[in-house]
Amino acid sequence: MKTAQPTLPAPAPVGYVGNKAAVLARLRRIEGQVRGIQKMIEDERYCIDVLTQANAVKAALEQVSLLLLNDHVSHCVADAIRQGDSDAKIHELTAAIERFVRG
């Protein structure tokens, strides 16, 4: 006879769930930019042109990160504050911001 397995609670939706399609579209665009840089290297394009495109990829990734950070604050951190569990989420947020700023 099998014993019933305890059911785990469903995971809370992630903060970016409302922007998931937009985030994925941005990431696909960035992926295309990276493939373009690979092609530039294969074609031995001018260094400055490659660096310019690399900088564009970096800026695009920073925009995705800011979007995710905003969604995290608006959803995850705000929910934790409403539930009275803000200390851990604020510490997590502060650490994430530090990593983002330091690169």
Q: What is the pLDDT of residue 9?
A: 55
Q: What is the pLDDT of residues 64-82, one digit of tens each?
A: 999 999 999 999 999 999 9
pLDDT in tens, 11-58: 667 888 888 999 999 999 999 999 999 999 999 999 999 999 999 999
Of all residues in the chain, what percent are helix, strand and coil, respectively (each to 5)? 80, 0, 20
Give the relative orientation of helices 20-42 and 47-71 as an angle to the nearest 10 degrees: 170
Cα 103-37-34 angle, rounded to 5 deg: 55
The ranges assigned to domains in the chain are 19-102
Query: Which CATH number is correct for 19-102, 1.10.10.1100, 3.10.290.10, 1.10.540.10, 1.20.58.1000?
Result: 1.20.58.1000
CA-to-CA distance for 100 and 97, rounded, in angstroms? 5
